[in-house]
Structure 1
């Protein structure tokens, strides 16, 4: 049963029926938040006078089961979502088999790629919260096979977040998956190297965008604009990318979607030669350190997908502490104020720049 209650009527333990906004782009509190007295004080501070709540209900079994997670070797995945990881793992194995065919000289069977990637894209788009686990699914040893699948998923999800039609979304997912197909033409000793590449080796890797386009250029199942996006997915708006050093309006938005998905997954995944970064840190780096290289609309869409926070969100910090979001800074939404579980003290991530959010907890 649901009802609308004045803030003065709220009690600890009440569940919110819907997200709460207060002249904010993002919700200050998420639906199904179990209110504490501190939550109620925060609502008052934001000038919220009424909220829609659920009465006579505890968090249901489905929500509770989602919140429990088990170690599966690739990070923590909610028990209720292991079926999705199983499908993801099978898709990676399917891609690996195709990749080895390409190494032997065969051209990509785009129809076959479509047959196993599209069902996975649709499942992840329907379960957006699982996008935050993509970096945990990947393994350093098999990164070359995980990365294209994750880029396809993220590209499709970003496309949907930006309001594109289903046809565009599917094409983005397919293009993202095939963007690195040309890596099959690069020497395995370079592709599978466990240390940083030399300048000469890196120049060889740069050729993969051209190889990718040549391998799929005759396929009628990929649109021409998506073929161009594959070619351009390492171009940057400031002209610092490759293969042609293109700038600004000469780079398609679709190319930028693939580029942001590619960089985000690469930087949030463990590699044999370096550890992964926090998704929140990576979005911050893309926005600040890489400012001017990526379309901000695309980056904002990614942030809304994997970095959206609200008051009451449970998080793990990069220093190993656990806590709860208590306040969101309008100009620094990725660096909120966190109440630590260990001592109850508040830490402001906007001033403690050496600490970031590592992950959102179910």
Structure 2
């Protein structure tokens, strides 16, 4: 008789169901076996695991039933994200076909996403759902709006300002519809003429939004200046720090972070932690250091308790964030007596490859 082959997948505890089969032994912090590998879960056991502070576990399944495309997410957000995506998709599609559209008619779907982000704060789940979409410009717009909304909240802005910043993030790139798609999707280096067209997209975005009846100067400046940089190296005007609107500074951080953590036609994505490190490297010349630091601390706080993959092939759990070096946390590998704690400030050859 042939032996049944099993594989394992890490599954967030909030999405575990009755009948899921545990793919690992679960130990208490004192090394006592709590649940053995192969245990079939039920609601009581799932509640017990959650009470122990366990965020995610390995679930066992037979290889013939494996679905590598499974994504676990909060269904409460799904319709709002879908509506916002369709709104952005419609706006971009119409504009790319050189037709006119009333952006105002789709505004409420975008505002709903901003409000959901503000009220739930569950940015990792929202971003995970956004990332399943194929069109880069559409999902980038949604993600930047989401990151900008939460960053503005972390910075202490009031509700009205946060909504303006979130909406600016959602609409910041619609001016790319004035640039030929072959340039937007080009994998090779752009020539001077092509770069000049790309560098004008913030101006195009500003003009389209203003033409559509958006007259809030904070919103318009956030969109027009989101590619300006503190050292004057940005575009389209080469403004320096004192002349860049603070809302644009927020969009710049959100825009840079999502661009680095997403595959594009011209480059592969970086891990979330590596992207945060790159933001910090830019914090004292190109980006606002206070805004970057708040974003790094906020995002690493969201990663606290998450399962991560390390570059040495091991999986672990983020258990402590250093205040002075938030991108080099302490990671626990294993549980019980077999657990070991890796302080990534000192484990120079080990880095976080990805956070799940």
Distance 1:86 1:72 in 2: 23
What's the RMSD between the two structures over aligned residues? Answer: 3.3
Please name the residue that 2:330 is paired with. Answer: 337
Please state if 1:274 is matched with 2:267.
Answer: yes
Please state if 1:172 is matched with 2:162.
Answer: no
Distance 1:286 1:144 in 2: 21
Taking structure 1 as reference, are residues 350 and 64 closer, same or farther at Cα in structure 2, changes over 3 Å only?
A: closer
Please name the residue that 1:58 is paired with. Answer: 48
Please name the residue that 2:344 is paired with. Answer: 349
1:116 to partner: Cα distance: 0.9
2:98 to 79, 102, 105: 105
1:326 to partner: Cα distance: 4.9
Where does 1:193-342 land on structure 2 (aligned, <5 Å)? 193-289=186-282, 291-308=284-301, 314-341=307-334
Structure 1 stretch displaced more, 83-92 or 236-245: 83-92
Please state if 1:92 is matched with 2:82.
Answer: no
Does the CA contact (< 8 Å) of 1:131 and 1:154 recur in 2? no
Report how many aligned residue pairs link the two structures.
Answer: 306
SS at match of 2:309: strand
1:313 to partner: Cα distance: 5.1
Distance 2:304 2:207 in 1: 49
Distance 1:254 1:313 in 2: 30
Structure 1 stretch displaced more, 88-97 or 233-242: 88-97
Distance 2:144 2:193 in 1: 26
Q: TM-score, normalised by structure 2?
A: 0.74
Deviations 1:76-129 (A, max 9, x none): 434xx1342453234223311211111233445232231111111222233323
Distance 1:266 1:279 in 2: 11
Which ranges of structure 1 fall in alignment gaps of 5 or more residues? 1-33, 39-56
1:279 to partner: Cα distance: 1.6
Taking structure 1 as reference, are residues 76 and 128 closer, same or farther at Cα in structure 2, changes over 3 Å only?
A: farther
Which ranges of structure 2 fall in alignment gaps of 5 or more residues? 1-26, 32-46, 60-65
Where does 1:56-205 land on structure 2 (aligned, <5 Å)? 58=48, 73=69, 76-78=71-73, 81-131=74-124, 134=127, 137-138=130-131, 141-205=134-198
Deviations 1:199-237 (A, max 9, x none): 442222111011111112244444112101111100011
1:269 to partner: Cα distance: 0.9
Please name the residue that 1:51 is paired with. Answer: none
Does the CA contact (< 8 Å) of 1:237 and 1:292 recur in 2? yes
Does the CA contact (< 8 Å) of 1:179 and 1:209 recur in 2? yes
Distance 2:150 2:183 in 1: 31
